[in-house]
């Protein structure tokens, strides 16, 4: 090779390795971008605060969330409520329980429902979608058949209004916190399945998959080693966003009275439902749990959106 081409090569090398000489995988780069995103930092802070409250809440709560300590001060029939004061920071609820303690303790259940439900939907949905996508990528007539049948079932699930589906499941399984988790989780299944399958389908048609086949790589390795890892980012983003939806839906189911049968046990959705009756005279009782739900959902949404941007291959520098 002439010196001229050598020079061009050297130039290309220099421009290719500005930052690191060891190379950064896409995950590492995404993490770097995520750290630099304001949205991600705010979202993570909100989520972090929420998780800390959920974990330590019951121990730091100044009063028992179920104890009715100030019975003589709240008279619902006369619309007399106690607002925020020194010993009860957020005031008292309709049964004269400390609202602040109930908010702290309630966070745990809300978080638990959100995480368990999303995990459930994510796991089952990803398994179904992954299997369907893998069948399609592995190819053949059988693979296409399997995919068609699975996807039509998923379509049917997707066609039902999610809240209606959740209500039906909760109605069949009876009233409990587990029911809420299952109901909310099941609703998420088709979303994850479709998303992963679609991503795998798109990746399956890409050039590097063709190149792997030309190289003589076995089909199973192509499906699991090439297609699946490249299809995960939209699903991970969706999982983060789903946490927000799951919390809202769990709250909605609790609000509808399908959650924990023990109404004394604090949960933001239940608290919102109970506060509804006294909304005219004590609106703050509804606003606290509502604000909790909204801010938490916002945190997950912010983080999810930031992750979507960080993982977007089009933004790759």
Partner 1 sequence: MSLLQLNGVKVHFPVRRGILFDRTVGHVYAVDGVSLSVEPGQTYGLVGESGCGKTTLGRAVLRLVDVTDGEVVFDGTDLAKLPDEEMRRFRRRLQMVFQDPLGSLNPRQNIESILSEGMEAHGIGANQAERRERIRGILARVGLPANALSRYPHEFSGGQRQRIGIARALVLEPDVIICDEPVSALDVSIQAQVINLLEELQQEMGLTYVVIAHDLAVVRHISDVVGVMYLGSLVEEAPSDTLYAEPRHPYTRALMSAVPVPDPEVEDNRERILLTGDLPSPANPPAGCRFHTRCPWKQETRCATDRPELRDLGGGHRVACHWAEEIADGRISPTHNAAQVVHGGHTEPAEPAGSAESTGAAAAVNTGKTEKAATAAE
| Angle at alpha carbon of residue 278, lines to 276 and 280, rounded to 5° | 100
- Asked if 300 contacts 47 with a C-beta cutoff of 8 angstroms, the reply is yes
Shortest distance, position 30 Cβ to partner 1, whole Å: 11
- Is 172 or 211 the residue whose CB approaches partner 1 more closely? 211
- Is 67 or 211 the residue whose CB approaches partner 1 more closely? 211
Residue reference for tokens 């006369």: 78
- Is 217 or 284 the residue whose CB approaches partner 1 more closely? 217
Binding residues vs partner 1 (CB under 8 A)? 1, 5, 8-9, 12-13, 15-17, 21-27, 144, 148-149, 152, 206-208, 210-218, 221, 226, 229-230, 313, 316-317
- Is 38 or 141 the residue whose CB approaches partner 1 more closely? 141
- Asked if 186 contacts 253 with a C-beta cutoff of 8 angstroms, the reply is no
User: Could you tell me the CA-to-CA distances from 122 to 158, 193, 240, 293 in Å, in that order?
Assistant: 15, 8, 10, 21
C-alpha 13: how far from chain center: 42
State the virtual CA torsion across 231, 237, 241, 246 in degrees, nearest 10: 50
- Is 174 or 229 the residue whose CB approaches partner 1 more closely? 229
Shortest distance, position 157 Cβ to partner 1, whole Å: 17
Q: Is 267 left (phi over 0), alpha (psi -120 to 50) or beta?
A: beta
- Asked if 92 contacts 82 with a C-beta cutoff of 8 angstroms, the reply is yes
Shortest distance, position 267 Cβ to partner 1, whole Å: 41
Of 117, 144, 311, the residue nearest 231 (C-alpha): 311
Q: Both tokens of residue 312?
A: 């977007």
Shortest distance, position 91 Cβ to partner 1, whole Å: 53
List Cβ neighbours of 220 (8 Å cut-off, separation of 6 or more): 138
Shortest distance, position 224 Cβ to partner 1, whole Å: 13
- Is 19 or 280 the residue whose CB approaches partner 1 more closely? 19
Q: Both tokens of residue 77?
A: 């029939």
- Is 231 or 296 the residue whose CB approaches partner 1 more closely? 231
3-class DSSP state of 84 = coil
- Asked if 211 contacts 227 with a C-beta cutoff of 8 angstroms, the reply is no
- Is 23 or 161 the residue whose CB approaches partner 1 more closely? 23
Q: Both tokens of residue 147?
A: 């995919």
Cα 186 from Cα 196, distance rounded (Å):
16
Cα 308 from Cα 121, distance rounded (Å):
19
Write the DSSP symbol of residue 8: H
Shortest distance, position 223 Cβ to partner 1, whole Å: 13
Shortest distance, position 40 Cβ to partner 1, whole Å: 21
Shortest distance, position 256 Cβ to partner 1, whole Å: 36
Shortest distance, position 231 Cβ to partner 1, whole Å: 11
- Is 90 or 222 the residue whose CB approaches partner 1 more closely? 222
């Amino acid at each position: 090779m002439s010196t001229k081409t050598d020079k061009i090569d050297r130039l290309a090398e220099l421009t290719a390795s500005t930052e690191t000489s060891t190379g950064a995988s896409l995950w590492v780069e995404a993490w770097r971008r995520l750290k630099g995103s304001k949205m991600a930092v705010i979202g993570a802070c909100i989520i972090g605060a929420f998780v800390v409250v959920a974990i330590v809440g019951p121990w730091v709560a100044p009063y028992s969330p179920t104890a009715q300590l100030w019975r003589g001060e709240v008279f619902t029939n006369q619309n007399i409520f106690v607002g925020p004061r020194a010993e009860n920071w957020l005031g008292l609820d309709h049964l004269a329980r400390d609202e602040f303690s109930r908010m702290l303790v309630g966070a745990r259940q809300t978080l638990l429902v959100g995480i368990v439900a999303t995990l459930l939907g994510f796991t089952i949905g990803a398994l179904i979608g992954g299997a369907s996508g893998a069948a399609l990528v592995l190819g053949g007539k059988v693979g296409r058949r399997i995919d068609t049948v699975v996807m039509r079932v998923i379509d049917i699930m997707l066609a039902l209004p999610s809240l209606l589906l959740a209500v039906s499941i909760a109605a069949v399984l009876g009233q409990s916190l587990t029911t809420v988790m299952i109901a909310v989780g099941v609703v998420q299944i088709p979303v994850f399945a479709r998303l992963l399958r679609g991503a795998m389908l798109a990746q399956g048609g890409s050039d590097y998959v063709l190149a792997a086949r030309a190289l003589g790589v076995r089909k199973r390795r192509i499906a699991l080693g090439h297609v699946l890892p490249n299809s995960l980012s939209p699903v991970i983003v969706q999982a983060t966003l789903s946490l927000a939806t799951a919390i809202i839906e769990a709250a909605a189911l609790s609000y509808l009275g399908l959650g924990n049968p023990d109404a004394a046990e604090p949960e933001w959705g239940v608290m919102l439902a109970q506060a509804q009756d006294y909304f005219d005279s004590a609106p703050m009782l509804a606003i606290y749990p509502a604000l909790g739900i909204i801010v938490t959902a916002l945190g997950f949404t912010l983080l999810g959106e930031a992750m979507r941007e960080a993982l977007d291959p089009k933004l790759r520098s």
